[in-house]
Structure formats: C-alpha cells, structure tokens
C-alpha cells in the first residue's frame, strides 16, 4: 500500500508524477504465435483505491476550480463509481470539499466505494434513477455559487488534457497500437491527442451498443470525423456496462495467475480479453507492438459477490 503522505506531497507538486507506474511486458504463446508484442502500462499502481485514469482526468478540473476560487467539487456517479472514489480522495489532497450526487435511493448499507468516499469527507446526496437523468435540474436545485461541477466520469476538455499526460509515463513512441478501455471516451480522446500520427488508437467500449461514443470522442478532439487511425470496438461489452459473465471472471483469474496482472470487471478485464481475442483473430499485423493502458478500477471489483 502506497504511503498516503507520499502521494500527498507528489500531488501538491505535480499530480502527474507518480513513481510506482511501470510498463509490464506480457509473455504468452498467443502473442508469440502471431508475432505480436504486448506491454501494459500499469496506471493501476498509482494507488490501491483511487484508480489510474481518474487521477489524470481530474487534475485540471481541480486546478481550474482553485483558480476560480471554488471551495467544493461536486460530481455524479453510481454506487461503485471509480470516479466518485477518485474525486473524494483527490479533493481531500487538494484541500477542496467534495460532494457526490449518487444515482439511486440511499441503500441500507453503503457500498465499499461510498464508504470510502464518505471517509475521505465527501458529502453524499442520493437521487432517484429518474431524477438522476436530468443533470441540469440537479445542478440548478443546489444553487451553490462556490461549487464547481464536474461531469460524470470526468467527461470534458480538462479531462482530455489530463489524459493526454498518460503516455508520458512510458516510451510510447515505440508502439504501433495504443489500446484502452472506453467509458465516456475522455481518456481515448487524450490518448489520441498525445499519440503520434502513425500510431493506431483503439478503444474497447464497456457499454453495449453505445453508438454516441464516436460522436463524443470527435467532439472532444474537435474534429468533424474520427481520424482513421482511431477505432472503437463495440464487441466486448459482455452484456453491457457493469455486467460480467463467468467466462470473463474465469479469464481474469487466469490472467492474474499467469501474468500477475489484476484486472477490473468493468473496464480492463474486457479490454485484455478483447486484445487476446483480436490477436488470435489476426486483427494485428505480424510485428505489431501493442501498448494496453491499465486504467485502474480495481476498487470496483468488491462489487462482485463472492
């Protein structure tokens, strides 16, 4: 477990410099057979609870809030949201108050994620699933001038700017493909922005049939069309966002055993599965060098009942 104080100091100076991030080389027959190499950028190692990419996505929102002399960050998420956990933690580090608008009625027992968020000082407000859909009305109802609102999942331009810093943690130029899980598309847009023209950027969507995604990423990168070097794959959602199958859980267990690589059920488990499947289907030309972004999310695994 990383020392809290250590993270605190680094965050104060520059939250984009974390020492424990490393790149893990994956050795497997299914890669060797197709002459494809795979490295994993372990952003999950930044912190055991606060997951990888959310740190990056939050950084510039927090900075902007401070510049505008806001006292509080308010944002949205579900009971197992990585974004809620990360926001609560990051705000405490940055001496900001935090408010979480949580989807659904208040349960009798709080999820581990919400207990963690409360422990970090986050004020939780529960909103019915119907009301939750109308974010503008929720924001209106609070009427707090010194609150700074951040979109669900950190979606938006400051999130893209932060995510663009991810690739600086590795020698990114040597890869032909950069592959990451996709929720809102913010991280993917950041990777697109910071990668090279000749690199392919591939997103594996965790949502079922989210056809708005391409549009969302286009808006974030400010293009009329998604560049041809960017592909979003929609075939590995395993039933939809937050849904898991026994096949996926078994696969994740095997990956931990064989590669000492823990994955999360919502995003990175599906992404690693997709990579293996695509390699076996010869999606990647021989000689391809793949970099998978392990975007964290391990805290959400405790939502799975043993």
Ligand X SMILES: *Cc1c(COP(=O)(O)O)cnc(C)c1O
Contacting positions for ligand X (CB under 6 A):
51, 53-54, 82-83, 153, 181-188, 264, 267-268, 295-297
Measured from each CB, the residue nearest to ligand X is 297
Between 26 and 182, CB nearer to ligand X? 182
Between 34 and 292, CB nearer to ligand X? 292
- CA 33 to CA 279: how far, in whole Å? 9
- CA 181 to CA 114: how far, in whole Å? 23
Q: Quick one: how many helices (H) and strands (E) in the chain?
A: 12, 10
Between 96 and 182, CB nearer to ligand X? 182
In the bound complex, what is the minimum distance in angstroms from residue 220's beta carbon to ligand X?
9
- Burial label for 2, CB within 10 Å (0-12, 13-18, 19+), is middle
- CA 169 to CA 18: how far, in whole Å? 9
In the bound complex, what is the minimum distance in angstroms from residue 299's beta carbon to ligand X?
9
Segments of 142-222 assigned E as strands: 147-150, 177-182, 200-205
Between 120 and 264, CB nearer to ligand X? 264
- CA 215 to CA 201: how far, in whole Å? 16
Between 82 and 113, CB nearer to ligand X? 82
In the bound complex, what is the minimum distance in angstroms from residue 157's beta carbon to ligand X?
12
In the bound complex, what is the minimum distance in angstroms from residue 35's beta carbon to ligand X?
28
- CA 71 to CA 65: how far, in whole Å? 8
In the bound complex, what is the minimum distance in angstroms from residue 126's beta carbon to ligand X?
21
């Amino acid at each position: 477990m990383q020392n809290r104080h250590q993270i605190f100091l680094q965050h104060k100076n520059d939250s984009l410099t974390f020492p424990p991030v490393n790149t893990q080389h994956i050795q497997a027959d299914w890669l060797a057979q197709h002459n494809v190499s795979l490295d994993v950028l372990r952003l999950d190692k930044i912190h055991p609870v606060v997951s990888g990419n959310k740190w990056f996505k939050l950084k510039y929102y927090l900075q902007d809030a401070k510049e505008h002399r806001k006292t509080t960050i308010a944002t949205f998420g579900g009971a197992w949201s990585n974004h809620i956990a990360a926001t609560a933690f990051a705000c405490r580090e940055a001496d900001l108050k935090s408010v979480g608008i949580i989807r659904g009625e208040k349960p009798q027992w709080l999820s581990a994620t919400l207990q963690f968020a409360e422990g970090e000082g986050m004020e939780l407000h529960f909103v019915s699933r119907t009301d939750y859909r109308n974010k503008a009305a929720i924001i209106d109802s609070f009427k707090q001038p010194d609150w700074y609102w951040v979109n669900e999942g950190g979606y938006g331009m400051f999130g893209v700017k932060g995510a663009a810093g991810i690739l600086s943690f590795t020698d990114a130029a040597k890869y032909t493909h950069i592959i990451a899980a996709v929720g809102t598309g913010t991280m993917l847009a950041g990777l697109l922005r910071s990668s090279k023209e000749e690199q392919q950027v591939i997103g594996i969507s965790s949502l079922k049939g989210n056809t708005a995604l391409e549009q969302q990423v286009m808006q974030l990168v400010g293009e009329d069309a998604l560049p041809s070097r960017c592909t979003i794959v929609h075939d590995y959602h395993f039933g939809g966002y937050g849904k898991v199958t026994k096949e996926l859980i078994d696969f994740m267990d095997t990956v931990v055993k064989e590669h000492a690589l823990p994955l999360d059920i919502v995003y990175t488990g599906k992404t690693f599965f997709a990579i293996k499947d695509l390699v076996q289907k010869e999606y990647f030309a021989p000689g391809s060098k793949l970099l998978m972004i392990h975007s964290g999310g391990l805290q959400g695994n405790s939502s799975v009942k043993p």
